[in-house]
Structure 1
Amino acid sequence: MPANRLAPDIQEDADPGDVLAAERQHLAVSRAALRTMREHARSLSANAAGDWVSQQILQALLDERVEALADHPDAPLFFGRLDRSAGDDLPGTIYVGRRHIHDDRSRPLVIDWRAPVSRAFYQASPAQPMDITRRRRFGYHGGTLTAFEDERLDSADGDAPAASRILTEEIERPRTGPMRDIVATIQPDQDDIVRADLGLTVCVQGAPGTGKTAVGLHRAAYLLFTHREKLARSGVMIVGPNRAFLSYISSVLPALGEIKVEQTTIAGLVGEHAAPEDPAVAALKGDPRMARVLARALWLHVTKPTEGVLYTRGASRFRVADHEVREIVASLRGTTRYGPGRAALAQRLAHAVLVRMEQRGESPDDRVQDAVARSKPVKQVLDAVWPKVTPEQVLFRLLSDAEFLERAAKSDLEPAERELLTWAKPPRSHKSAKWTAADAALLDELADLIERTPSIGHVVVDEAQDLSPMQLRALGRRCRTGSATVLGDLAQGTTPWSTRSWQAVLTHLGRDSGEVTELTLGFRVPREVLDFAARLLPEVAPELAVPRSLRPGAGSLSVRRAAADALPAAVETAVREALAREGSIGVIVPDAAVAALSAALGAAGLEHGVLGPDSTGDHRLLVVPATLAKGLEYDHVIVMEPADIVAAEPRGLARLYVVLTRAVTTLTVVHAHELPAALADR
């Protein structure tokens, strides 16, 4: 074996059993090396740091290192192998896996999938071999290596199979519990997105089953690996549509060795407000024009000074004339954020007083200026001219005072829109107001106008098509000096303000120069199911390309009609059929029918869970409200009464499109009412 080849020395014509045994031995050696690496990390002490604070910081970093080196028995340490022809200093054979593993002489046993040399595993082809002679994929059952498959890349008549059986089986493997990583199955177009530069904001339009969510999470993992030091300071954040979705994706990044990534929802980011509201009012509050209205509303609190400052020190009196105060206020107004502007006004007024002191021969220092800035005469001018306000106070005044709203809106809002926004029965004060989800984005906008929102290094936002322009502005502020990965599907937009254009989304994020790319080739949803759901596209998103699936999925779709009184029994039958197969089961129903169906399944002795906004959904059989299905996947999906799902909301057909595309293996549609016209000829 060449000196740079740390791999089993296997002859080209070796018996497959011998090859498998040698590769299993390499897996065992790698696992032992990972245990040694973890034990070494655990043995390190933070006591070497000088002071207590440094010790605590170092200990936290060591704890993270130990956790990142954990071996998950059911997750293979490596899933591929590359045999290279290049005569450089790199190993001739490279094993590609979830994390780097080296032996006691620091020689690599497994290379992290994010390393530059690993890119060939995803991108090499007979046309562009990238110095790779052979690519080997490994099949696993649990953590046991059970199979391998070779693809020759150094000759046109190589022995590569027409399609990778191992790759197909991994994609189709039944899924129970949280979402898995797709690191072993990343395709070339997905890899291009994952490895995009940190400074580039990428917007991914992804049809159902194209892996857009997984691609976004893997891009986060890749950026953390490639720009570790920078992102350790600035941070990475994942923003999902609800907590059930976050629970579903929660294990992906830890499985890739990334444990310190904040995951939240848009409500968790801007405020957990959920008072009921008319959709028309919510849509108006989400309109980007509201940004200008809010800015005027805030700055209308700054008034024209009518008095100067009179500061007394002992027997001396120092006066700043009212016209000078007006000039100072005018120079600051609108040139800074509201909060710093108020602080700057206090200091500028104090400086003007100190100038008067110096003119009289005194020599005041910075301590005197600070004392003057905090003095009662200056505070009186501040409170009268530039009062301290909170976002809640400003928004309360805007929504409860029609005259103030008219002044703030100017020509941005029509009279009918202002009337729609104004509370008919205002609360007694901002403290008793019950804010809505749309209000939360307005409050966040005001908070940023008052004090600058800290920026994060990278933000990954999923289901972005459902966010209002004002919510997108809130996200844009969080990556003002960073970048974003924006994921979604225009066809799955279900909110009253759902976007029709990704370029508009990028504009609201403040990322006009971002790139939009489209994933149309699906790997998860069977073709028969995807083609059925895609009949709705001409009505919900006619501008999008029709998605395609690599998996034929013959027999994966079943549409059954039942009498209205027999509908629960028909669903029960479909559930029992699904339980006889391997994998997770999601029974997706209209929200109003969740309780009744759950009771019926319970009476039939079928143990199950009910997915809620904050539940983990860790049962094999779940009853899923249609409004929570977005972003989730189940091996077997049973959809009850599509007509009621459509009728429940204005964009009901888009909701149904979402629901019908959650299946990875089979979809069973059970209905009593007529199906939507586009689906009726099935």
Structure 2
Amino acid sequence: LVVEGGPGTGKTVVALHRVAYLLYAHRDRIARSGALIIGPNPAFLHYIDQVLPALGETGVVLSTLGELYPGVRTTELDAPTAAELKGDRRFADVIRQAVLNRSRAPQNDVPLKIDGTRIVLSVNEVRAAIRRARDTHRPYNQARAVFAKDLLKRLAAKLAEALSLNIDQETQAGLIADLRHSPDVRREINLCWMPQTPEQLLADLFASDARLKAAAPMLRRSDRELLLRDRHSAWTLSDVPLLDEAAELLGEIEVGQSARSADDDAQRAREVAYARDALSSSGMAASMITAEQYVDRFATADAMSPLADRAAADRGWAYGHVVVDEAQELTAMQWRMIMRRSPSKSMTIVGDPAQASAPGAIANWSTALAPAVADRWRKTMLTINYRTPQAIMDVAAELLRVADVDAQAPRSVREGRWPIQLRRGTSADELANLLSEEAATIEYGTIGVVVETSRLAAVSQLADDLVGSDPRFGNGHVAVECFAIGSVKGLEFDTVVLVEPTELIATSINPAHDLYVGLTRPTQRLVIVSDGALPPMLAKAVAAAAT
């Protein structure tokens, strides 16, 4: 189900009520698999957690896109063009080719020495083993075991011939064991087919122009230059679906059963020793519980940890239902990542194409959903705005018209008490006076200040100082929160202060969409502060709404 509606129409509330209903009506199914709610930012998820705190007790995972891949938590952004490239559907093919390129035959035959006996690993033998492993269609790391086994059999036959041995099953097993312990053989197998993690694959891919060109021949050199970076760079939001794509193709790195058993035994021995010391130091050494029982009890407790915790830590977890809010911002690669979390495709998708502003976002629902569900989806429209007064929505609607955005602004149920305020004065002192006046006007509630990113830290500090010292903020009755324009989707405030709108959209991919989002956050008052000229589209919208 797609729930589409403009600002303030209650899309999120509808989605949450639907989840609550499904958790009740299909308790058995969802209790086993849980539900996933994906929001645009941590502030939005905090709001959801406050509205429906019971969700956390019924197997619901709250996550941003930057947290969907276990072990990674990021809000870092790529440059817009790089983000658009990484979000393109074709990057799935790039990752697939990058994985294929990690298994390769040597350029020449390789001489090997096995306990003094010389044999030759031929290029053709390696190629044949690679083909056989790939033909299994197993993930890369699982197919590696097939490759290694095939190659070891071929080498065992050569070694038997060199030693003038009759090759039977027992002899072959002994020779393969010798080959496994040979440094030369281990080196060559790894050079031909090295185990890979998604993190290693992506770090190497973006650190090498040669690797990137081989995996993405369709990219121009200028495009590759946008993607190249140091291999130790922090992960970005656009990297997360690529890591997920790579994980799907690579699979887990297999560890031999004997190695796993030895590791498990060693870990248990350490835990028992620690438990014995803990019981002794606490005077419980003579109690009814042994160190072994103590360890087993906590192992059981871990296995019984809340479903939401286990689901969030498991990349392959299949959720019973998935909710995606602000879904108009998703790229093709992000959609692929999300669809893997919902094999049943039981989903509630919430969004407003008129608010789309992310690089590479697919704002058309058919284009976004068709690869995964074809036409097995339906859409419902919400057209009434319960948040923003009509006086403010008049300006927002005119902005859509002036900017030729193909969307209809929702109709507000309230006229509102205050007209839009146009102010000058963006210095620290002037902003402080403005915020204090707004606090005195609304008396209770939250003021949201939207500023250009370079101003964010200074204005946030200014706001914190004011709230703690100015009595007009009513000892915490009025709060002030500061955001960049890209971080306010899904949020609402009693008063919104837009500081220098021209600065706010200077680097926007969709300036009209970003302004539309900023204009539609208030529940009561909107103040636009600028020492310079307003963006032409905003100036025209304000003038048109006034007449």
TM-score of the two chains, using structure 1 as the length reference: 0.58
Decide whether aligned partners of structure 1 residues 374 and 225 sit closer, same or farther in structure 2, where only a CA change above 3 A counts: farther
Decide whether aligned partners of structure 1 residues 532 and 203 sit closer, same or farther in structure 2, where only a CA change above 3 A counts: same
Alignment of 1:445-456 (within 5 A): 445-451=245-251, 453-456=315-318
Number of equivalent positions? 461
Partner of 1:267: 66
Higher relative contact order (CA 8 A, sep 6+): 2
Deviation by residue 1:89-147 (Cα, 9 ceiling, x = unmatched):
xxxxxxxxxxxxxxxxxxxxxxxxxxxxxxxxxxxxxxxxxxxxxxxxxxxxxxxxxxx
Partner of 1:211: 10
1:572 aligns with 2:431: no
* Deviation for aligned residue 1:501: 1.5
Does the aligned pair in 2 maintain the 1:525–1:665 contact within 8 Å? Answer: yes
1:528 aligns with 2:391: yes
Distance in 2 of aligned mates of 1:539 and 1:449:
46
Q: Secondary structure at the match of 1:622?
A: strand
* Deviation for aligned residue 1:247: 1.0
Distance in 1 of aligned mates of 2:317 and 2:174:
35
Gaps of 5+ in 1: 1-201, 610-617
Partner of 1:637: 496
Distance in 2 of aligned mates of 1:252 and 1:370:
62
Decide whether aligned partners of structure 1 residues 629 and 330 sit closer, same or farther in structure 2, where only a CA change above 3 A counts: same
Decide whether aligned partners of structure 1 residues 435 and 374 sit closer, same or farther in structure 2, where only a CA change above 3 A counts: same
Partner of 1:661: 520
Partner of 1:409: 216
1:283 aligns with 2:84: yes
Distance in 2 of aligned mates of 1:671 and 1:290:
41
Distance in 2 of aligned mates of 1:366 and 1:531:
82
1:418 aligns with 2:418: no
Which of these residues, 545, 553, 571, is aligned with residue 415 of structure 2? 553
Partner of 1:70: none
Decide whether aligned partners of structure 1 residues 599 and 324 sit closer, same or farther in structure 2, where only a CA change above 3 A counts: closer
Distance in 1 of aligned mates of 2:419 and 2:470:
23
Partner of 2:274: none
* Deviation for aligned residue 1:291: 1.6
Q: Secondary structure at the match of 2:31?
A: helix
* Deviation for aligned residue 1:318: 12
Partner of 1:343: 145
Which of these residues, 622, 645, 648, is aligned with residue 480 of structure 2? 622
Partner of 1:43: none
Partner of 1:390: 197
* Deviation for aligned residue 1:591: 3.9
Distance in 2 of aligned mates of 1:544 and 1:680:
18
1:302 aligns with 2:103: yes
Does the aligned pair in 2 maintain the 1:608–1:623 contact within 8 Å? Answer: no
* Deviation for aligned residue 1:338: 0.8
Is 296-305 or 434-443 further displaced after alignment? 434-443
Decide whether aligned partners of structure 1 residues 599 and 304 sit closer, same or farther in structure 2, where only a CA change above 3 A counts: closer
Q: Secondary structure at the match of 2:239?
A: helix
Gaps of 5+ in 2: 253-314
- Which residue identity is paired with 1:243? P
Partner of 1:677: 539
Distance in 1 of aligned mates of 2:323 and 2:495:
28
Distance in 2 of aligned mates of 1:608 and 1:353:
83
Which of these residues, 348, 351, 357, is aligned with residue 488 of structure 1? 351
Alignment of 1:245-260 (within 5 A): 245-255=44-54, 258-260=57-59
Decide whether aligned partners of structure 1 residues 517 and 319 sit closer, same or farther in structure 2, where only a CA change above 3 A counts: farther
Decide whether aligned partners of structure 1 residues 317 and 249 sit closer, same or farther in structure 2, where only a CA change above 3 A counts: same
Does the aligned pair in 2 maintain the 1:218–1:253 contact within 8 Å? Answer: no
Decide whether aligned partners of structure 1 residues 673 and 328 sit closer, same or farther in structure 2, where only a CA change above 3 A counts: same
Distance in 1 of aligned mates of 2:404 and 2:521:
18
Alignment of 1:20-169 (within 5 A): none
Partner of 1:503: 366
Does the aligned pair in 2 maintain the 1:490–1:541 contact within 8 Å? Answer: no
* Deviation for aligned residue 1:577: 0.4
Decide whether aligned partners of structure 1 residues 372 and 345 sit closer, same or farther in structure 2, where only a CA change above 3 A counts: farther
Which of these residues, 219, 236, 244, is aligned with residue 444 of structure 1? 244
Q: Secondary structure at the match of 2:349?
A: strand
Decide whether aligned partners of structure 1 residues 349 and 596 sit closer, same or farther in structure 2, where only a CA change above 3 A counts: closer
Q: Secondary structure at the match of 1:281?
A: helix
Q: Secondary structure at the match of 2:103?
A: coil
Distance in 1 of aligned mates of 2:378 and 2:505:
33
* Deviation for aligned residue 1:328: 3.8
Decide whether aligned partners of structure 1 residues 324 and 250 sit closer, same or farther in structure 2, where only a CA change above 3 A counts: same
Distance in 2 of aligned mates of 1:401 and 1:354:
36
Distance in 1 of aligned mates of 2:178 and 2:339:
39
Distance in 1 of aligned mates of 2:198 and 2:65:
18
Which of these residues, 475, 478, 490, is aligned with residue 338 of structure 2? 475
Deviation by residue 1:209-243 (Cα, 9 ceiling, x = unmatched):
11111222222222222222222332211111221
Does the aligned pair in 2 maintain the 1:574–1:638 contact within 8 Å? Answer: no
The structure that is helix-richer by fraction is: 2
Distance in 2 of aligned mates of 1:256 and 1:525:
28
Q: Secondary structure at the match of 2:62?
A: strand
Distance in 1 of aligned mates of 2:471 and 2:149:
67
Does the aligned pair in 1 maintain the 2:105–2:126 contact within 8 Å? Answer: no
Q: RMSD value over aligned CA atoms?
A: 4.0
Q: Secondary structure at the match of 1:531?
A: helix
Distance in 2 of aligned mates of 1:544 and 1:608:
40
Decide whether aligned partners of structure 1 residues 298 and 308 sit closer, same or farther in structure 2, where only a CA change above 3 A counts: same
Does the aligned pair in 1 maintain the 2:205–2:212 contact within 8 Å? Answer: yes
Distance in 2 of aligned mates of 1:510 and 1:309:
52
Partner of 2:279: none
Q: Secondary structure at the match of 1:454?
A: coil
Identical aligned pairs, as a percentage? 34
Decide whether aligned partners of structure 1 residues 304 and 647 sit closer, same or farther in structure 2, where only a CA change above 3 A counts: closer
Q: Secondary structure at the match of 1:438?
A: coil
- Which residue identity is paired with 2:442? A
Does the aligned pair in 1 maintain the 2:397–2:408 contact within 8 Å? Answer: no
Does the aligned pair in 2 maintain the 1:354–1:369 contact within 8 Å? Answer: yes
Partner of 1:177: none
Deviation by residue 1:530-550 (Cα, 9 ceiling, x = unmatched):
23222222366722233223x
Distance in 2 of aligned mates of 1:485 and 1:368:
58
Is 412-421 or 363-372 further displaced after alignment? 363-372
* Deviation for aligned residue 1:262: 1.2
* Deviation for aligned residue 1:554: 3.9
Does the aligned pair in 1 maintain the 2:357–2:514 contact within 8 Å? Answer: yes
Deviation by residue 1:325-375 (Cα, 9 ceiling, x = unmatched):
543421332622211211233345567799999x96956699989969965
Partner of 2:510: 651
